[in-house]
């Protein structure tokens, strides 16, 4: 084998030496009597220039081989599975000293996708309005829980706004009872340039990091109007990407047109109590008749199980409510929040104190609301 290689190399060297050794030999056909033309050197270039390959002269064979090698390399580069964090998959992974990695379970993958949806890219601001036809259905609780879920998963800022014109409004009490400022403080401050400036006028819960603007701790409180809400909303959206507003129960109040004009999505809150379900159904009819068809396409219905019963008749009632509200918004946009003692305590809502099932449900609700971030139509 080595001998034949020397034979093949030998003639090649002889051909290059032939012009110098034998002047009588005939040049090969097509010989021009001069060497290959080199490209002119650039004015400031120094040193030898690398050869310029022309793949078209070789029929593209070399290029195809390179592409083939790249494809083969990419196919062999299998992404590493994310180890499971629970159940038998986790114990198998650590029990075999990380040698056997079955990856995440389907539910873990779903959970990670929900988190990614909530934390997804958002251009501009997204305004959510929470409505409830009756008091006591869990409207304020839903505002605090959904807002806290947004704040805990996103890198930008989220604020909950108390837009309930009633004197019994208590959104700040469910997020940060120490918050005493209101709309007037935000509107009268001429030096709102940075987030730290607006932070002096709002409360915040821990550890989610949800900010809240209250609406009742002021001695000369004036009726909340659409203009007041809109002006405040315009100032807040300079600092916040997600704004979630807790409204009152009277859809005929003068502030409602302002709320709806800024809304990108709605959360309709009902309860398993007869009046709570009826009030949400009436809200659906009102939104349709008032011309908010665009918002109904991005409406989520939350049914709070405020009674926590487990009998057959109760389950039948819940199933009936889900079926009825699904006619308006689709079954994938109707969620039942189970009874939770932490919510029933009427104190500050903390996600880490909710039951796992309740917290998961609020994550699913928040992810469904966040699915409207990339809506193609003009939200305004």
The three-state (H, E, C) secondary structure of the chain, written as one string = CHHHHHHHHHHHHHHHHHHHHCCCCCCCCCCCCCCCCCCCCCCCCCCCCCCCCCHHHHCCHHHHHHHHHHHHHHHHCCCCCCCCCCHHHHHHHHHCCCCCCCCCCHHHHHHHHHHHHHCCCCCCCEEEEEEECCCCCCHHHHHHHHHHHHHHHCCCCEEEEEECCCCCCCHHHHHCCCCCCCHHHHHHCCCCCCHHHHHCCCEECCCCCCEEECCCCCCCCCCCCHHHHHHHHHHHCCCCCEEEEEECCCCCCCCHHHHHHHCCEEEEEEECCHHHHHHHHHHHHHHHHCCCHHHHCCEEEEEECCCCCCCHHHHHHHHHHHHHHHHHHCHHHEEEECCCHHHHCCCCCCHHHCCHHHHHHHHHHHHHHHCCCCCCCCCC
Residues 6+ apart with CB under 8 A from 304: 137, 138, 141, 142, 269, 270, 271, 272, 276, 337
Q: Cβ of 30: how many Cβ atoms within 10 Å?
A: 5
**What is the value of pTM for the model shown?**
0.75
Looking up tokens 């990091």, which residue turns up?
A: 209
Task: For the chain, give every residue range classified as CATH 3.40.50.300.
Answer: 123-370
Provide the pLDDT for residue 219: 54
Q: Cβ of 218: how many Cβ atoms within 10 Å?
A: 14
Q: Which residues are registered as beta bridge partners of 158? A: 242
pLDDT in single tens digits along all 380 residues of the chain? 444 444 444 444 444 444 444 444 455 555 555 555 555 555 554 555 555 555 455 455 555 555 555 655 555 565 678 877 777 777 766 777 777 777 767 877 888 999 999 999 999 999 999 999 888 899 999 999 999 999 999 999 999 999 998 877 789 999 999 998 889 999 999 999 999 999 999 999 989 999 999 986 555 567 889 999 999 999 999 999 999 999 988 999 999 999 999 999 999 999 988 777 888 889 899 998 999 888 888 999 999 998 777 788 888 989 999 999 999 899 999 999 999 999 998 899 999 999 999 999 999 999 999 999 876 344 54
Q: Which residues are registered as beta bridge partners of 260? A: none
Provide the pLDDT for residue 277: 82
Task: Identify the sign of the CA torsion 140, 145, 146, 151.
Answer: positive
Backbone angles phi, psi at 244, to 5 degrees: -120, 120
Exposure of 100 by Cβ count < 10 A (0-12 exposed, 13-18 middle, 19+ buried)? exposed
Provide the pLDDT for residue 13: 46
Q: What is the largest CA-CA distance in the chain?
A: 115
Distance CA 242, CA 246 (A): 13
Provide the pLDDT for residue 89: 73
Pick the CATH number of 123-370 from 3.10.20.30, 3.40.50.300, 1.10.645.10, 3.30.1360.40: 3.40.50.300
List Cα–Cα distances, 359 to 325, 339, 348, in angstroms: 22, 11, 15
Provide the pLDDT for residue 82: 81
Residues 6+ apart with CB under 8 A from 327: none
């Amino acid at each position: 084998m080595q001998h034949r290689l020397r034979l093949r190399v030998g003639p090649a060297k002889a051909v290059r030496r032939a012009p110098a050794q034998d002047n009588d030999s005939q040049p090969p056909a097509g010989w021009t009597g001069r060497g290959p033309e080199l490209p002119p050197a650039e004015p400031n270039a120094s040193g030898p220039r690398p050869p310029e390959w022309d793949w078209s002269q070789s029929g593209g064979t070399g290029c195809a081989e390179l592409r083939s090698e790249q494809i083969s390399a990419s196919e062999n580069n299998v992404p590493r599975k994310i180890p499971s964090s629970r159940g038998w998959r986790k114990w198998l992974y650590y029990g075999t000293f990380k040698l056997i990695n079955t990856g995440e379970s389907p539910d873990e993958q779903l959970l990670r996708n929900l988190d990614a949806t909530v934390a997804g890219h958002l251009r501009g601001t997204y305004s959510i309005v929470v409505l409830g036809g009756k008091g006591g259905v869990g409207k304020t609780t839903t505002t605090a829980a959904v807002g806290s879920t947004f704040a805990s998963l996103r890198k930008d800022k989220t604020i909950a706004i108390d837009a309930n014109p009633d004197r019994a409004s208590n959104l700040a009490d469910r997020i940060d009872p120490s918050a005493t400022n209101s709309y007037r403080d935000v509107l009268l401050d001429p030096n709102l340039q940075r987030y730290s400036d607006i932070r002096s006028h709002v409360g915040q819960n821990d550890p989610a990091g949800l900010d809240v603007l209250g609406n009742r701790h002021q001695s000369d409180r004036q009726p909340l109007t659409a203009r007041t809400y809109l002006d405040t909303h315009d100032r807040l959206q300079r600092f916040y990407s997600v704004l979630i507003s807790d409204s009152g129960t009277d859809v005929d109040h003068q502030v409602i047109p302002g709320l709806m004009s800024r809304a990108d999505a709605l959360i309709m809150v009902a309860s398993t109590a007869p009046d709570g379900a009826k009030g949400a159904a009436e809200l659906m009819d009102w939104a349709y008749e008032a011309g908010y068809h665009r918002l109904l396409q991005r409406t989520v219905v939350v049914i709070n199980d405020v009674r926590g019963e487990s009998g057959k008749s109760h389950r039948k009632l819940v199933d009936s409510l889900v079926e009825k509200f699904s006619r308006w918004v689709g079954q994938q946009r109707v969620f039942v929040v189970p009874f939770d003692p932490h919510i029933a305590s009427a104190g500050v809502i903390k996600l880490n104190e909710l039951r796992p099932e309740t917290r998961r449900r609020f994550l699913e609700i928040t992810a469904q609301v966040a699915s409207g971030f990339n809506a193609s139509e003009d939200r305004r």
